[in-house]
Structure 1
Amino acid sequence: MQKKILVFVGVIVLLFVGLYVVIEYKNNQAVENSDNPYGDKELHQGTIDQLDDPNYGNQIMPDELSESIESGDPVTVYFYDPLCVHCQNTTPYLVPLAEDNNVDMKKMNLREFQDQWNAYGIESTPTLIHFENGEEQGRIVGQRPEGEFQQFFDQYVVAE
C-alpha cells in the first residue's frame, strides 16, 4: 500500500515539474520571439503576456524618460500596470485615441519598474502625464471616459 502511495506522489511531482518546464519554455520563447523592449530583464508574467499586443508598444525605459524630461522635450506618458484591471479596460480605447490625435504616447510599465511610482508621484494606475519644459503640465488619473482623455489631449498635447 505504501509503495502505491509513493508511486502516486512521485507521478504527481513529475507532472508538476513537467508543467513548470513547459511554462518556462513557453515564456522564454515568447520573450525571445517578440520585440522585447526590456532587454534581458527578468519579466513578470503579465508583461510577457502583453509583449505582442500592439496596444503596449512604444514603451519608454526609465532612463529615456528622465532624459526626455530633463531636455525639456514634450513627452506624454501612460503609466500602467499589466495586472491592473482599470488599465486593461482603459488601454484598448486610450491607445487608438492617442494615435487618432497623432500623440506619441509613451508607455511606462510600473510592474517592471517599481521605482517609477515614487519618481513621478504615481498613486494609482492608469495615470497619464504630459511633461514639457522639464515640468509636469497635466495629469489624469484612473479609468476615465474617452471624452476626458480627449480633453486632456486637446488641452496639453494636440494644441502644440
Structure 2
Amino acid sequence: MKKLAIVGAVIVLLFAAIIALTNMKNSEKLKDNPYGTNDLNQSTIDLLKDENYQNIILPDALAEKIESGEGVVGYFFSPECMHCKSYTPKMMPIADELGIQVNQLNVLEFGDTGDAYGITATPTMIYFENGEEVARLEGAAPEETTRQFFNDVVLK
C-alpha cells in the first residue's frame, strides 16, 4: 500500500511539472502577441511564432481596412484546420513573392467575424475592393489556382 502511494505521488508530481513547464512555455510565447489577449486556444498559441502566420489582423482592423475602400485580401483560417495547415505554407510564399499583403483572421478565436463574412469553410480567402467582396477562394487550392487568384483578381 505504501509503494502504491509513493508511485501515485510521483505520477502527480510529474503531471504538475508538465503543466508548469507548459504554462511557462506558453507565457513566453504569449508576450507581445497580436491578439491583444492571453486567453487563446492552445492551437493558436502554437502558431504565434510560425513564420506563415505573422500577418494576423483583428476583426475591427479588418473591417476598418475594408470600409476604407482600399483593396484588401482577407484570409480566414483556423489553427485546428488541417487544410489551413497545409495550404498556408504554400500560399504565403506566393503572396510574398507577388508583394501582396494577406490579412490573416483566426476564426477559431473570432468565430462571429467569420460568420459576418459568410465563412462556411476554412481556409477562405476573400478580396475586397471599394468596401465590397470582389472574389473568394475557398479550400486548399492548388498553387496554380492561388497564383491565378492573386494575378487575375488582386493584381489586375
Q: 1:135 to 1:75 in 2, by over 3 A?
A: same
- Corresponding residue for residue 46 of structure 1: 43
SS in 2 for 1:140: strand
The amino acid of 2:128's aligned partner reads: F
- Corresponding residue for residue 2 of structure 2: 3
TM-score in terms of structure 2 length: 0.94
The 5-angstrom pairing of residues 75-86 of structure 1 reads 75-86=72-83
Matched, 1:90 2:90: no
SS in 2 for 1:115: helix
TM-score in terms of structure 1 length: 0.91
Percent sequence identity over aligned pairs = 46
The Cα of 1:4 is off from its aligned counterpart by: 2.2
Distance 2:7 2:97 in 1: 58
SS in 2 for 1:83: coil
Matched, 1:147 2:138: no
The 5-angstrom pairing of residues 50-89 of structure 1 reads 50-89=47-86
The Cα of 1:54 is off from its aligned counterpart by: 1.7
Give 5+ residue unaligned stretches, structure 2.
Answer: none
Matched, 1:126 2:126: no
The amino acid of 1:139's aligned partner reads: R
Distance 2:79 2:54 in 1: 13
- Corresponding residue for residue 21 of structure 2: 22
The amino acid of 1:37's aligned partner reads: P
Distance 1:153 1:130 in 2: 9
SS in 1 for 2:111: coil
The Cα of 1:119 is off from its aligned counterpart by: 1.0
SS in 2 for 1:103: coil
Tell me the matched-pair count. 156
Q: Which runs of 4+ in 1 moved over 4 A?
A: none
SS in 1 for 2:17: helix
Give 5+ residue unaligned stretches, structure 1.
Answer: none
Matched, 1:157 2:149: no
The Cα of 1:117 is off from its aligned counterpart by: 2.1
